[in-house]
Amino acid sequence: MKKHLFLIAALVLAAACSQKAPDIEKQIDEILPQITLEEKIAMTHAQSKFSSPGVPRLGIPEIWCTDGPHGIRAEVLWDKWSQARWTNDSCTAYPALTCLAASWNPEMSRLYGESIAEEALYRKKTVLLGPGVNILRHPLGGRNFEYMGEDPFLSSTMVVPYVQGVQSKDVAVCVKHFALNNDEIHRHTVNVNVDDRTLYEIYLPAFKAAVTEGGAWSIMGAYNLYNNQHLCHNERILMDILKGEWGFDGVVISDWGGCHDTDQAVHNGLDLEYGTWTDGLFTGPSNVYNEYHLAQPYLKGIKSGKYGTDELDDKVRRLLRLQLRTNMAPGRGTGRFVCPDHSAAARKIAGEGIVLLKNDGDVLPVKNAKKILVVGENAFKMLTVGGGSSSLKVKYEISPLEAVRARFSDAEVVFERGYSSGAAQAQDGISAKFDLAENRTPEQMVADAVAAAKDADYVLVFGGLNKNKNQDSEGADRLEYGLPYGQDALVEALAEVASKLVFVNISGNPVAMPWVDKVPAIVQGWYLGSEAGYALADVLSGDVNPSGKLPFTFPYDMSEGPVTSEEQYPGISREGENIIDEYYTEGLLVGYRWYDTKKVKPMFAFGHGLSYTTFEYGEASIRGRKLSVKISNTGKVAGAEVVQLYIGDPECSVERPAKELKGFKKVFLQPGESKTVTFEIPDSALSFFDAEQHKWVVEPGEFIAYIGSGSDDIRTSVKFKK
């Protein structure tokens, strides 16, 4: 045994002393033959809620996972979801990934990845369970707030630096939920029916980018089914596409409770099994790890001759590769936890992601205010708690009410609740720091808010959704598109008496706003984490000029959108089976692709976002495939504009959306400053996926490049030929 330990230690030491990257494959070849059959089996399944064993005899450590992707989750007990009640596991909460996507700034993704990885490293975690890059297919999806919006190009561009940032700290990402996990209502039993072209053009690109460009070291299978196989052991998705076409050399990890069949788990690409016989969130027995599909059933199958060992060796090789990239990486650091740099990063990312949706009459930024009325439960409710696996135990969370009082200390700041969501909902033993009890009727709360608004210079309403069940939360979808808890009546009443009314929508999803024409200023405020209040106050005050753009469309009503039939959502139950079939018959026309192609005007379009300054676009010009456009800041304050490139193919042998995002750049300009923004247009920006040939195709002909400030705000265009 001492000889074995010495060999492993010598390999790691040699790698640490080397001036070049260690030859991981050579090390794996040395280690793999020394691991016994029983030890290999143990490596492929969990030993606790969030850990799996290494090989102590050989000095190979345990693998520890942590829920993200917005912060490092509190420690739980070995066999239960209940909190372990440590005193040193209160983390920094970062903005939800919808906010990160809304920054349209890959530099923010890199900063996010590096910062959260340092906190994972400090807590001795191997794998960060995130980021999530599923497409927002419709507005009721309970988990949309964890993802990066409706567009595959935006998600692909933003996920790569996140992955690289995390893994630069020797912590593995686990990109999730692969794939087609677009709603929560029947997440364990829904079978997605989608054509290959739509699969490859809409639902796979962000995962592919994370793997082939970002170099992701692990990926998480989804709960749902595709081709009648669960996606944690799906032959087409995991073997043919992920490990075949994309050459993925990392580890496929099951979602907690996502593994259902030993034969499929053995043969169809699953490498590490977690959480079997739980619902992934709340329930499930303890101490059953040896009965997992990749545990004793797998071992017995090998010993009886039912299974060979090639698949097992491939799984273990991948797990060793993960270990050598993370726990056993030479010079792996110790990380940092809840430090000023992480707070500053969270605030900066949040500030860049906040979207100014409407600002009639230049109501914002707030100025010369003697009295400010703050209204709404979301002004003080903790929003880092709840929502499922992204629920966090934070060191602190600055509420909007606290921050407004601090920023506008020269003004009288008063508060009225306006609406109530009911008693606080704790999760994992974490509860909000405020008492949410309310004795007034909804009518009285509205009346009190209106009375307080009559002599206020500004009325700031913090409303929207929250992390309660059937809001923005794992395990269930929203029940309606409208705002909950009687908020529409509140806003309508305040609009009658307040001329400077601002609605700050806290959500990770689009919502209905039937009063949109009556409210002069609307801000999309997301779930912003520990620095939420400060980030919102920065934008409302003008200390930060908003530069976020929507990563998804806000329709006036869901009936105007692409998903309207029962077969599309929530699906049709199969007779005699516990399966729900969901049909993606809208095809490629997801989000703005639908609204542009069908010429339906949304309330707020994909890519929309205003500023406290103004930007002028020159005429676009193109030479070959190099497109250029001059952008000027024609206002009085410094600001940033996201210049968006869309490509249209008006004459094609197949049906295509009117235009598709194929490039963007965020440019920062001082007042009066101009810059020329350039785009190189590759063939990939012109191609479509030909399912019959199973390849990407570019047809010769004329294309149109559209340059704009939003999908509905095209400022200039130019034609070119392939």
Note whether 442 and 486 are within 8 A (CB). yes
In the block, tokens 């993802």 appear at 147
List C-alpha distances in Å: 175 to 201, 210, 683. 18, 7, 27
Contacts of 250 (CB under 8 A, 6+ apart): 172, 211, 216, 217, 218, 219, 318, 321, 322
Q: Provide the 3-class DSSP secondary structure of residue 705.
A: strand
Can you read off the two tokens belonging to residue 697?
A: 């195709």
- Beta partners for 191? 225, 581
Element (H, E) at 587: none
Report the DSSP beta bridge partners of residue 501: 459
Given a contact cutoff of 8 angstroms between Cβ atoms, the answer to whether 129 and 66 are in contact is yes
**321, two tokens:** 């590769």
**Do residues 312 and 303 make contact, with C-beta atoms less than 8 angstroms apart?**
no
Using CA atoms, how far apart are residues 391 and 384, in angstroms rounded to an integer? 6
Report whether 571 contacts 580 (CB < 8 A). yes
Distance of alpha carbon 184 from alpha carbon 478, whole angstroms: 9
* Catalytic residue chosen out of the listed positions 89, 151, 170, 255: 255
Sign of CA dihedral 222, 224, 226, 228: positive
Distance CA 547, CA 543 (A): 12
How far is 431 from 530, CA to CA, in rounded Å? Answer: 15
| Length of the chain (residues) | 722
Instruction: For residue 704, report the phi and psi dihedrals to the nearest 5 degrees.
Output: -125, 130
Is residue 512 a contact partner of residue 506, using CB atoms and an 8 Å limit? Answer: no
Three-state SS for 83? strand
| Extended strands (E) in 290-408 | 355-359, 371-375
As to burial, measured by CB atoms within 10 angstroms (0-12 exposed, 13-18 middle, 19+ buried), residue 364 is buried
- Whole-angstrom distance, CA of residue 276 vs CA of residue 297: 13
Annotation marks residue 314 as catalytic: no
The answer to whether the beta carbons of residues 204 and 248 sit under 8 Å apart is no
What is the side-by-side order of every strand in the sheet holding 521-524?
A: 355-359, 521-524, 501-506, 458-464, 371-375, 412-416
Q: How far is residue 552's CA from residue 264's CA, in Å, rounded to a whole number?
A: 36
Residue 286 is which amino acid?
S
CB atoms within 10 A of CB 674: 15
**CA dihedral sign, ordered 189, 194, 199, 202:** negative
**Residue in 663, 670, 665 with CA at minimum distance from that of residue 647:** 663
DSSP secondary structure code for residue 74 in this structure: P
Residue 424 DSSP label: -
DSSP single-letter state for residue 200: I
Residues labelled as active-site residues: 255
